[in-house]
Amino acid sequence: MLDRFRYLFIQARNYDNPQILEVLAKIIRNKNASTTFPAILNRCCHILLNRWQLHPKTQGYVVEFVELFDLLPSGMGRGYGQSYSSRMNQLVREFLQTDYYKQLKRLATIVSESHNKKTNPGKKEEVVGNLITRYPYLYDHCLLGADSSTEQQETVYKVKTELEKQFESKLSKFVTYQIRVAQAGRAKMEELNNDRLIKPVTNPTLLSDRDLGKSLKHYVGKVENGYSYQELSRSFLTHTNDTRNYQLFKDDLYEYIVQSVDGKYGKNSFNKRLYDKLQELYPKYHNSKPDEFLKMRTYSQLFNYLIVDSPQNPSHLVFMDMISNMGTTKTIGLLLKLVLLCSKVKPYLEKRFSILFNHYESFTRQGAGWLVRSLEKVNVAFSVNFGNLDMSFLRRIYAKI
């Protein structure tokens, strides 16, 4: 199948089925081919990839397949009256500039990194883009487009779900191991490890053990006045359930947010800018009782403001400012506090981080360390609040630390 695809689309010659060539020739010679062909080629790619990527024995073909595009001949002529091979070469070259191809490259990275971890677990991923395998919550936005097929969506969902389960399991085992270390004492644990009575468990994140422990405690334990984020969100929802109008709801939401902002930083400028931003949102509804849809739009607009607006306007100065003044743990905690109010906006929060990921994917880990730490902590926060981890187990643990 790899050779047949190469003959048909990459070399554009020596393909042995004249009927397919005839149909394809009509497609690429159409005056709208530059617009329609990328989606057609993308669909052809995923017909193969959707099956290969789900089975360990065929996953290697995914990487080989995407690498075929590196073999595209150069120097062919351009123009409407050109030969079949030249026209195909031109259209495939245009395909390489699309989001479709970018998504294919990311998929190949995920499969390749998964394989490398099994064969070379000590390997360090130096570029942010190579870390995508660590963040399944980005997959819907980094691997799929608006016109992705149902089959493609289902395939990504299966891969995403499996990786989330794996991370949650590893995180749970690591936390359990760390607690046993703390209880037994490190000297005793080294003795037990040497006797192979207890097998050491590796930290599944790129955070230090200390940073991971602090993050877990922050996202699960008591953070404000003896309450956890989940308890605070439930209290807010109860309090605002019968709010008389949208203006009062926004006032309550403002207070809910700033309680998580460090006092000095908030008083200097953040609180006022946040308040002004909230007042700008949907003023025509100020005297109306807010419904769930209006609340969701409000949360979504806040994510635009606090993280990043759009791929076309990727400015993220507010997010950087928050991290500089509060640190990544508290900044992600504030965002978690918002998404706990309405799980339906979780995909919207994920989309904001996918925009940042796309923007920095060619940077080294060191060059975008703040983003890597943020992505890691979002992964942790999501796992312990939206995953299948035993929350009561974690609460008991971190209440004693």
Got the DSSP string for 138-154?
A: GHHHHT--TT--HHHHH
Per-residue pLDDT of the chain (401 residues; tens, 9 = 90+): 999 999 999 988 888 898 999 999 999 999 999 999 999 999 999 999 988 887 878 888 999 999 999 999 886 555 444 688 899 999 999 999 999 999 999 999 888 876 565 555 445 557 899 999 999 999 999 999 888 889 889 999 999 999 999 999 999 999 888 877 777 765 565 665 555 556 789 999 999 999 999 999 999 999 998 899 999 999 999 999 999 999 999 999 999 999 999 888 998 889 999 999 999 999 999 999 999 999 999 999 999 999 999 989 899 999 999 999 999 999 999 999 999 999 999 999 999 999 999 999 999 998 999 999 999 999 999 999 998 877 677 767 665 55
Cβ 66 vs Cβ 107: under 8 Å:
yes
Query: Who contacts 213 (Cβ-Cβ below 8 Å, separation ≥6)?
Result: 178, 401
Q: How far apart are CA 274 and CA 321, in angstroms?
A: 13
Q: Which helix (H) or strand (E) holds 122?
A: none
What is the C-alpha separation between 105 and 94, in angstroms, rounded? 15
Tens digits of residue pLDDT in 35-69: 999 999 999 999 999 888 878 788 889 999 999 99
Contact at 8 Å (CB) between 372 and 365? yes
pLDDT for res 80: 46
**Could you tell me which of 187, 97, 204, 132 has the C-alpha nearest to residue 365?**
132
Q: Nearest to residue 143, comparing CAs of 97, 110, 94, 116?
A: 110
**Structure tokens, 86:** 């030249």
- pLDDT tens digit string along 159-215? 999 999 999 999 999 988 887 777 776 556 566 555 555 678 999 999 999 999 999
Distance CA 62, CA 50 (A): 9
- C-alpha–C-alpha distance, residues 58 and 52, integer Å: 5
